[in-house]
Amino acid sequence: MHPVPAPYLQETVAWAQQTFAVSLPPGNISYEQLEEMLGRRLEYLISNDFQQFIFLLYRIDVAEKKVKLILEAAAATGLDPYRPIAALIIERQLQKIASREAFRQDHLPDDEERW
């Protein structure tokens, strides 16, 4: 994983708290802490509310194929799939934030270049 800009990570933490209805300790949360917390929440959803898990994956726009590969690998190796799926979700959200930032038109020098 490459370094994540702190504002992007904190926006992702806030998004995860709202989207997955979890609470985190106050202060700055590391990527690893977010991944661990989200992994635990995914474990609960997969075990107790699989429909909600699928709905969230669809809403977040995580590649279904990647999730299936993780689940298949977990079944073959006996390892938990939760943190790898959490990492996929976090990475997708970070991509969305970076994309929004890249396409913001506030950076243009004058109104003539805006659409």
Report yes or no on 93 lying in a domain.
yes
Report yes or no on 53 lying in a domain.
yes
- Tokens 């909600």 — which residue? 52
**pTM to 2 decimals?**
0.83
Percentage of the chain exceeding pLDDT 90: 67
Burial class (CB in 10 A: 0-12, 13-18, 19+), 31: middle
Q: How many domains does the chain have?
A: 1
pLDDT in tens, 21-43: 888 777 788 999 999 999 999 99
Report yes or no on 67 lying in a domain.
yes
Report yes or no on 12 lying in a domain.
yes
Say what the pLDDT of residue 82 is: 96
Report yes or no on 77 lying in a domain.
yes
Report yes or no on 64 lying in a domain.
yes
Say what the pLDDT of residue 28 is: 84
Give the range of the structural domain holding residue 40, as residue numbers without chain letter. 6-20+29-101
Report yes or no on 69 lying in a domain.
yes
Which regions in the chain score pLDDT beneath 50? none
Report yes or no on 107 lying in a domain.
no
